[in-house]
Chain A
Amino acid sequence: MSDLTSKAIADLRSGFRSGDFSAREVATAYNAAVAAGRALNAFTVETPEIALAAADAADAARTSDDLKPLSGIPLGIKDLFATEGVDTTAGSNILKGFKPPYESTVSGKLKAAGAGMLGKLNMDEFAMGSSNETSAFGPVISPWKRRDGGNAALTPGGSSGGSASAVAAGLAAGATGTDTGGSIRQPAAFAGICGIKPTYGRCSRWGIVSFASSLDQAGPMAKTVRDCAILLEVMAGFDKKDSTSLDLPVPQWESGLSSDLKGQRVGIPREYRIEGVPVEIDALWDKGVEWLRDAGAEPVEISLPHTVHALPTYYIIAPAEASSNLARYDGIRYGLRELGDGGLDGLYASTRAAGFGAEVKRRVMIGTYVLSAGFYDAYFTKAQKVRTLIKRDFTQAFDRCDFILTPTAPSAAFALGDKSSDPIAMYLNDVFAVPASLAGLPAMSVPGGLDAHRLPLGLHLIGRELDEQGVLNAALAIEERAGFTHRAEKWW
């Protein structure tokens, strides 16, 4: 990594503002890193000219004293966000070549705040996956390697795997991600970076390709907690174009950062100690408790009894919503068209057979089944009732604590191909992440340490509704104490 591409966003911002370097120098360094990093397969589209144009605008703004919050900061945008005039495919063949004539609200806010776009980031198809292996563009490769003498290509996690890999490898200063059931937090943990999913409704979903609308939330992924706060402040905010957007002012999360946790209680859910999780992860969790205690917080044991049911609940609700959302891919209005046997129904069925990958088909099939006549109540309504109980667990837990600490994922990054033949083993990756998604709560992963193979492990903080500040502050306390400065050794 060159000096510029190893800097945090906060340092790029101050260095650019104080004249240590120009925005063009920053964008040029990142464009070069993107081009040199193609072995990671993190980008589906590179847009160096867009990054340079934003940089030139930032340099001009510096001269005229008209700086915006993200002037001079080059970002990667997950391919789930519609970007005007730039291919937006959600990692799917069915949207290959789709160039939206409009910009998603979140990416539009980042651009309006002066950020440059380096390109679109690879991801699991329609964000359905935890390893990036379902992408129509092929899997993203993690910059990290196991220190075991082997050379196995590891997953950066998913679905925001391109975002995680790009930030960890210094191909982008920060990135957008989206999280439906852990898709920001698990890849952030695997790649040794930070990522926050805000409260459901904080970030507008308008212009983000829909997966499961009651769960989908955008959030930032970046090297540090502060960088996440900086980006989230720009990304969040009311949008009349999203009916579930929260009409609330955006807090000043960055200036509110404080790692003094005196008087706060951190909840440790006993149900999150599950069998089969490596001892290193439990040990890191214990260390996390000590770090938070050192920051002034008091640990309390809590119970979230319905945790054990969260994954099966998720794997009814998310596919059900996906089967409905993905009905729009019909080969008529945009994307791929396959004529099939000639009739209109044949066109629909052939287009979807050719355009969707195996995991997307599997989920659309499950979703269609659980919503079909005769099974709706047994599966879908039942899952929505259990979701109420999962949400209630958290409400009751927050009577006893201010935020919750758990591991982010039940393992470190695994090798590509390791879990792709067993859908349920893959789904288990999100065992710690999914409950907060089902409850709509803000949650964040922050790097905590390395495992025996020198791969990153993350700690996971879950906060009360709308208390992103509490989550960020607890993450900051961990970040300061973990001293995680490890970076993947460059091999690409």
Chain B
Amino acid sequence: MSVDTATVRHIAKLARIAMSDADIDALVPELNNILGWVEQLAAVDTEGVEPLTAVIDQKLRLRDDIIDDGNIRDEVLANAPDAQHGFFAVPKVIE
């Protein structure tokens, strides 16, 4: 499988990374080079093999459904590029 300009533009949109036509053109051969290389996995016989989901066998723990932190609004907002009135601020999205 290989990607073309339209596919790379679509991936960039999914990944939310703005790219110029020149960026896209440069990425097409780069991504194809990497995808061509990983393609070799298709030749591995994985019939009946389960995909690995946990590298070390362990049960996921459940915790008690209680709040054990909170009241840290100002800390949460401290690194925001724009915070107003105790909220994250974003550009207007509804006209």
Contact = CB atoms under 8 A, between A and B. Distances in A.
Interface of A: 97-102, 199-201, 214-215, 240, 243-244, 246-247, 306, 309, 312-313, 315-316, 323, 327, 330-337, 339-340, 342-350, 352-353, 356, 361-362, 364-366, 368-369, 372, 375, 378-379, 381-389, 391, 423-424, 438-440, 465
Given A312-B37, A389-B46, A381 B19 contact: no
9 contacts: A102-B75, A244-B54, A244-B56, A312-B40, A334-B79, A335-B81, A365-B15, A385-B46, A465-B56
A388 B49 contact: yes
A309 B38 CA distance: 9
Given A348-B16, A365-B8, 9 more contacts: A215-B55, A312-B37, A312-B41, A316-B41, A330-B16, A339-B91, A343-B91, A385-B49, A388-B52
Q: Is the interface of B mostly helix, strand, loop or mixed?
A: loop
A429 B54 CA distance: 26
Contacts of B60: 243
Given A336-B81, A369-B11, A382-B41, A344 B90 contact: yes
A309 B11 contact: no
Contacts of A201: 56, 58
Given A335-B81, A382-B42, A386-B46, A343 B93 contact: yes
A353 B41 contact: no
Interface residues of B, number: 51
Interface string B20-59: 0000000100110111011111101010011111111010
Interface of B: 1, 3, 7-8, 11-19, 27, 30-31, 33-35, 37-42, 44, 46, 49-56, 58, 60-61, 63, 72, 75-76, 78-82, 88, 90-91, 93
A101 B78 contact: yes
Of B19, B53, B58, B76, the most chain A CB neighbours within 10 A belong to B58
A240 B58 contact: no
Nearest to A331: B81
Contact of B56 (A361, A383, A389, A440): A440
Contacts of A99: 78-79
A384 B91 contact: no
Contact of B30 (A335, A353, A383, A423): A423
Contact of B17 (A333, A356, A387): A356
A48 B7 CA distance: 50
Of B1, B39, B55, the most chain A CB neighbours within 10 A belong to B55
Contacts of A315: 34, 37-38
B90 A347 contact: yes
A309 B37 CA distance: 10
A423 B34 contact: yes
B49 A243 contact: no
B49 to A, nearest CB: 4
